[in-house]
Structure 1
Amino acid sequence: MAANGSLNGKCFCGAVEIEVSGDPAAMGYCHCSSCRSWSAGPVNAFTLWPPEKVKIVKGADNLVGYQKTATSVRKWCKACGGHLMTEHPLWGVTDVFAAAIPSLAFKPMLHVNYQETVLPMKDGLPKYRDFPPAFGGTGEMMAE
């Protein structure tokens, strides 16, 4: 934790450093095929922040992005390829990957896109078929 109460993170090689401040709006797991492919894992652990609470404090010139859909701009370090965040402009949040903020006490609240899971997780958390209604989803819940 930084002296001002914010948390610091970085890419794999350290060329890009980020700072998040305050508390995340939400933390959880995404099971969609896009997040799985992007993260190269069976599930993606996310932390959602208001965009103004996420700052690039070093290496902004090494941060590059790719926009496959209208809902997501994925960003990574061009030096090492380390994934850092996904901007969601339509929803007004930035997902900073939980693993990119090592000092964050990750406390997941929900699962999204659980209909696509390849790694069922029995943890008692709400499992949304797609997204909560506030994010354009049906709000439909699924069983563990």
Structure 2
Amino acid sequence: MSLTGSCLCGAIAYQASAINNTISHCHCQMCRKFHGAAFASYGSVAPANFKWLRGEQALKSYTASNGTIRQFCQHCGSSLTFTSKSQPTIELALGSLDVDITQRPVAHIFTAYKANWYSITDGLPCYTEDADE
């Protein structure tokens, strides 16, 4: 399986050979601000299963106060990846995928910080912090 994704302007493109079955919707304040939405949807990819196809020189990174690194396109601002020192995976912003996937989200995480104007009604498990904690 080959999954491709790109930024809004098309300057950056990537390929992932597999997304783990740990897709989640993150409601933490950093994800909400980075995506400009009620939550961010991420899928985990092992670094060995990910590569940039073009535009890597257009990537910009932001390192948050908690050490997480978020990558985005310097031209259009599209959110692309998220990495954490505590997890050996690359989290793909699923909205940047150019293809359909068969996996579905399994949980909402960091719901203690969710936007008060959004109600979670899809029946997925909700965790006030990370699902692993």
Q: State if a TM-score over 0.5 links the two structures.
A: yes
How do 1:99-138 residues align onto structure 2 when only pairs under 5 Å count?
Answer: 99-105=95-101, 107-118=104-115, 119-133=118-132, 137=133
2:13/2:53 contact within 8 Å kept: yes
Structure 2 equivalent of residue 24 of structure 1: 20
Structure 2 equivalent of residue 142 of structure 1: none
* Per-residue deviation, 1:33: 0.6
Kindly indicate whether structure 1 or structure 2 has the higher relative contact order, using CA contacts under 8 Å at least 6 residues apart.
Answer: 2
Given residue 119 of structure 2, which amino acid in structure 1 is its aligned partner? P
Structure 1 equivalent of residue 88 of structure 2: 92
Given residue 69 of structure 2, which amino acid in structure 1 is its aligned partner? V
1:73 is aligned to 2:69? yes
Given residue 25 of structure 2, which amino acid in structure 1 is its aligned partner? Y
1:55 is aligned to 2:51? yes
- The one-character-per-residue Cα deviations of 1:5-56 (angstroms, maximum 9, x if unpaired) are 2111001111110101123241010001110011011111111111222211
The alignment-based identity, stated in percent, is 23
Distance 1:72 1:120 in 2: 27
Given residue 108 of structure 1, which amino acid in structure 2 is its aligned partner? P
Q: Runs in 1 of length 4+ with deviation above 3 angstroms?
A: none
Distance 2:70 2:100 in 1: 21
1:41 is aligned to 2:37? yes
Contiguous gaps of at least 5 residues in structure 2: none
Given residue 21 of structure 1, which amino acid in structure 2 is its aligned partner? S
Q: How many residues align?
A: 130
2:19/2:44 contact within 8 Å kept: no
Question: CA RMSD of the aligned region, Å?
Answer: 1.4
The more displaced of 8-17 and 118-127 is: 118-127
Structure 2 equivalent of residue 12 of structure 1: 8
Bigger radius of gyration among the two = 1
